[in-house]
């Protein structure tokens, strides 16, 4: 593979994350004079809006895929798997492919099993979304210092993994963690899906809109992510349901403990628990 500067990069799907990747590639001057940024999206208005940001836009992937050294698939998990089935034959010989989906188990398994032999697919997850959706909001994603998870397959070529990591750092991300798809899905069920389920439940349980008069920041902070992309989060919740249900139960265990202390007026144990929590969270920075 060439250096990023000289590569032809393709983005499939110019939604929030596809758009944010394109912006970061440009803002960080990752592509040199000989590099090219291609993108496809089914929405022609989005392609028009992306003029100037991308070198060429396509309303279907057929004419684009064969030209790309590296393809970022910025699609919902289910769409992504269908896309790979349908367009597998069109990728350039030896191309590197990566994705951005929030669950990795099903994708990693499908790619271990079905990927064309000469292609290299490195599953990835940039932890830098936003509650805002769509290409027009791409500027609201700030990659600087953020986490990026890769769940490499056994078959990935070391030089491709290194190429992708270098590119990710140049996009501004602060830390790359390589792990298994299983560990990713277990941890993400906690840090991401459980948090979204909690935010959704908080909004679902209180229909009174004047409640915002009593907001002091906590409620707003805990529920901002309730402005979620409903079809995508439905997919993520259902696809990772076993891990997510485990995590909800784990959370409920601690909430039950607090309830017990509160109901029984166990001041000492409640305060000790809150002290421990405070110290643990402060240590996380």
Q: Looking only at residues 125 through 184 of this chain, which bind a copy of itself when binding is defined by CB under 8 A?
A: 126-129, 146-147, 149, 175, 177, 184
Measured from the CB atom, the residue of 81 and 194 that comes closer to a copy of itself is 194
Nearer to a copy of itself among residue 89 and residue 263 (C-beta): 263
Question: 67 phi and psi, to 5 degrees?
Answer: -100, -10
Choose between 92 and 187: whose C-beta lies nearer to a copy of itself.
187
Specify burial of residue 219 (Cβ count, 10 A radius: 0-12, 13-18, 19+): middle
Closer CB to a copy of itself, residue 33 or residue 280?
Answer: 280
Contacts of a copy of itself in 195-224 (CB under 8 A): 195-207, 209, 211-219, 221-224
Nearer to a copy of itself (CB atom), residue 32 or residue 231: 231
Closest CA to 100 of 32, 14, 38: 14
Residue 172 backbone class (left: φ over 0; alpha: ψ -120 to 50; beta: rest): left
| DSSP secondary structure letter of residue 59 | S
In angstroms, the CA 276 to CA 222 distance is 21
Kindly state the smallest distance separating residue 96's Cβ from a copy of itself, in Å.
Answer: 23
Residue 116 token pair:
């064309």
Query: Counting contacts by CB under 8 A, is residue 274 touching a copy of itself?
Result: yes
Site for a copy of itself in 46-105 (CB under 8 A): none
Size of the site for a copy of itself (CB under 8 A): 85
CB of 76 to a copy of itself, least distance (A): 12
Among residue numbers 223 through 262, which ones bind a copy of itself (CB under 8 A)? 223-231, 233-234, 237-238, 241, 244-245, 248, 250-255, 257-259, 262
Least Å from the CB of residue 87 to a copy of itself: 25
Least Å from the CB of residue 73 to a copy of itself: 19
Per-residue binding string, a copy of itself, 95-124, x by CB under 8 A, is ------------------------------
Q: Quick one: 54 exposed, middle or buried, by C-beta within 10 A (0-12, 13-18, 19+)?
A: buried
Of 93 and 212, nearer to a copy of itself (C-beta) is 212
Question: Which of 89/249 has CB closer to a copy of itself?
Answer: 249
In the complex, the smallest distance separating the C-beta of residue 258 from a copy of itself, rounded to whole angstroms, is 5
62: exposed, middle or buried (Cβ count in 10 Å: 0-12, 13-18, 19+)? exposed
Nearest approach, Cβ of residue 134 and a copy of itself (Å): 13
Q: In what order do the strands lie in the sheet with 124-127?
A: 124-127, 147-150, 175-178
3-class DSSP assignment, residue 2: coil
Strands lying side by side in the sheet with 96-99: 56-58, 36-40, 8-12, 70-73, 96-99, 120-122
């Amino acid at each position: 593979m060439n250096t990023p500067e000289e590569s032809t990069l393709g983005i499939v799907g110019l939604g929030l994350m596809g758009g944010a990747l394109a912006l970061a590639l440009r803002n960080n001057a990752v592509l040199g004079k000989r590099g090219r940024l291609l993108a496809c999206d089914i929405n022609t208005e989005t392609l028009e809006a992306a003029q100037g940001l991308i070198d060429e836009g396509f309303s279907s992937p057929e004419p684009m895929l064969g030209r790309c050294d590296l393809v970022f698939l910025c699609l919902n998990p289910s769409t992504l798997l269908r896309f790979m089935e349908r367009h597998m034959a069109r990728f350039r010989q030896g191309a590197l492919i990566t994705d951005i989906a929030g669950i990795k188990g099903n994708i990693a398994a499908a790619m271990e099993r079905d990927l064309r032999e000469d292609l290299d697919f490195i599953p990835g997850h940039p932890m830098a979304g936003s509650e805002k959706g769509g290409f027009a909001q791409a500027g609201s994603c700030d990659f600087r210092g953020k986490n990026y998870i890769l769940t490499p397959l056994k078959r990935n070529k070391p030089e491709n993994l290194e190429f992708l990591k270098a590119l990710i750092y140049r996009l501004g991300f602060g830390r790359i963690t390589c792990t298994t798809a299983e560990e990713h899905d277990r941890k993400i069920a906690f840090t991401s899906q459980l948090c979204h389920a909690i935010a959704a439940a908080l909004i679902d349980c209180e229909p009174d809109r004047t409640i915002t008069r009593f907001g002091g920041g906590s409620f707003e902070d805990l529920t901002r992510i309730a402005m979620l992309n409903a079809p995508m989060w439905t997919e993520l919740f259902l696809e990772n349901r076993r891990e997510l249900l485990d995590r909800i139960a784990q959370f409920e265990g601690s909430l039950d403990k607090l309830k017990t202390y509160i109901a029984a007026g166990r001041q000492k144990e409640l305060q000790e628990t809150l002290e421990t929590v405070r110290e643990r969270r402060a240590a996380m920075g």
